[in-house]
A and B are shown apart, each in its own frame.
Chain A
C-alpha cells in the first residue's frame, strides 16, 4: 500500500445500525462526507477516532496503521494522532480559552521550543478571547476555539463533525474563512462531515456520499455535484452544476463581482472578501438557468453564456427535463419544462445561450 493514502475499511454494527465502508483516499485535501442524517457520517468519524467499536477493518493513515482487526491492532484513541472536532465542541468548562488551548498544546507539542500555539492564536484571531470563560463565548467563537484546540494536538488526520451545523448563516460566514485557511495552511487530510451542499462546494476537493451506512458515490466535488440529482433515499439534492473561475474585478458602485470563466464573464453580488485573481467555485442550480436560441437583447439577466447542448435528460418530475450544457471551462444544467424543450426544438449539439440571474447567487 502506498504511504500517501488514507485507508478506511470499516465494518461495524452499533445499536442495530450497520456501517460498511471500504475506501482508499488520497492523503491530503478535504474530503466531504456527505449524506442525510442517520446515514452514518458521525459514526464513521467516531470509528476512525477510536470511539465506536469496529468489528472488522483496517484503518491506516499513510504508513501508520491505527486499526487492523486481522492483526489485532487497535491503537487507543489518545495515541491515534487523529484530531476529532466534535459538533458540540466539548470545550472544557473548568478551563478558560487559554486553558483549553494549552491542554491540547501541552500534549501535542513534541518539543518545548515549538511555537504553534502563538501561530494558531494569531491565525484564528483568538488574542482577545484567551482569558475568556468558555461559557461566555458565542457559538461561532466556540467553534473557532474548538478547531484551534484540535489543531494544537498536531493531528496527522483531521476529522470535523459538522463544525457549522449549530450555527446560523451569519455565524457560518464568520467561520468558513477559518476552515478554508485550515485546509490550506495545514497539509493534513481532512474528513469533513456535513449535510450542507454549499459548505461542500466551498471547501471540499472530493465528496464521499454516504447513505444508510454504505458509500453510494465518491469522486471529485465537481463530478459528484454535476452528476447527482437525488440522494439515494430520495432526499432532494437539487440538480446543479459546479463551475470554477477566477475573480476578475469588484465593482463597488454597482456592488457586483466579476468572475472570469475562460473568456466569459459572470456577474455576482459583490463579495470583496475574495481577492482579485483568487479561484472561486459557483454552484449553479439547474432551476436558475434558462436557455435562449439566440443572444437576447433588452434582458434583465446579466449572465449570458454561449453554450452547447450535450445531453437532454428526463427530470425527476414528468413535466421537466434537465438539459446539460457545455460552456467555456465547465458545464451547466438547466431545468426546463418539456414543453419548452419541444417548442424550441432543442437538440443535442445545438448552440444556444445559457441565462443565469445574478440574483440566484444571493446567499
Chain B
C-alpha cells in the first residue's frame, strides 16, 4: 500500500535526522553550556531560529543552497551525479537544520543543570576532558539525551512546510506522512487522511506524555 511506504519513509527520515543531530548537536550544546565566549548569544539565536521562522523561508533558502549552481549543490552533483533538491538526502539535510533547536536546547539545559562540579571531580581523578564527557557527563545527562532525541524525532515526523518546499511529493523518496495527508485531503480521500492523522495524533500525544512524565520524575529525583 502506498501509505505504508509514507509511514516507513517518515520513520527513516526522523531516525536519520535524530542520529545526525545527536552527533552535531551534542558538541554544540556542550559548547553553549560551558562557553564564556561573547559569541554565545549569536550562536544561541542562530540555533533557535527554526523555532520562529516560517518553514517556507527555510525551505526557500534550502532550495537555493541545493541548486546545482551553488557551492553545496554543485559539489553534491559532482560527487554523486544526483541533485539534492527533491531527494531523500536533501530532505535529511533540511530536517537537520529545521529540528536543530529541539536537540540542542534540551541538551544544553541538561548540561547546564549538571554544572561543572562533576567534570572537575573527573579531571582531578585523571580523566581527560573527552573521557570525562563520555564516562561522567553523558551518563549524568542521560535524561536530557532521551528528551532531546524524542523531541527531535517527533518534530521531524510532524514537519510539513520544509518538506513540501524541498522534497515535493515523490513516493518512496520524499512523500512523508504529512505530505500524504495533505494530498489525501486535496483529493477528497478523507478515509486515508483520517487513518494517517489519527496515527500522528496518537504518536504526538504519547511522545509528549512520555517526555513530561519522565521530566517530572527527574525533578522529583533531583529535589
Contact = CB atoms under 8 A, between A and B. Distances in A.
B136 interface: yes
B178 to A, nearest CB: 38
B35 interface: no
Contacts of A103: 122, 125, 127, 135
A83 B124 contact: yes
Nearest to A94: B139
Contacts of A92: 118, 121-122, 136, 140
A67 interface: no
Given A104-B125, A107-B127, A88 B135 contact: no
Interface in A144-171: 149-150, 153
Given A78-B128, A103-B135, A90 B118 contact: yes
A49 interface: yes
Given A92-B136, A103-B135, A51 B120 contact: yes
A139 interface: no
A293 to B, nearest CB: 58
Contacts, number: 61
A108 B124 contact: no
Interface residues of A, number: 24
Interface string A103-131: 11001100000000000000000000000
B145 to A, nearest CB: 13
A103 B124 CA distance: 11
A107 B126 contact: yes
Interface string A53-95: 0000000000000000000000011110111101010101110
A344 to B, nearest CB: 57
Nearest to B116: A51
B117 A88 contact: yes
Interface residues of B, number: 18
A205 B129 CA distance: 35
Contacts of B120: 51, 77, 86, 90
Given A93-B140, A103-B135, A77 B117 contact: no
Given A90-B117, A92-B118, A78 B123 contact: yes
A269 B61 CA distance: 84
A104 B123 CA distance: 10
Contacts of B128: 76, 78
B133 to A, nearest CB: 12
A78 B126 contact: yes
Contacts of A108: 125-126
Contacts of B125: 78, 103-104, 107-108, 149-150, 153
A86 to B, nearest CB: 6
Nearest to B139: A94
Contacts of A49: 124
A146 B22 CA distance: 33
Interface in B123-165: 123-129, 131-132, 135-136, 139-140
A79 to B, nearest CB: 8
Nearest to A93: B140
A297 to B, nearest CB: 60
Contacts of B136: 92, 94
A77 B118 contact: no
Nearest to A146: B121
B117 to A, nearest CB: 6
7 contacts: A50-B123, A77-B123, A78-B126, A78-B131, A86-B124, A108-B126, A153-B126
Interface of A: 49-51, 76-79, 81-84, 86, 88, 90, 92-94, 103-104, 107-108, 149-150, 153
The 3 closest A-B pairs by CB, nearest first: A90-B121, A107-B126, A77-B123
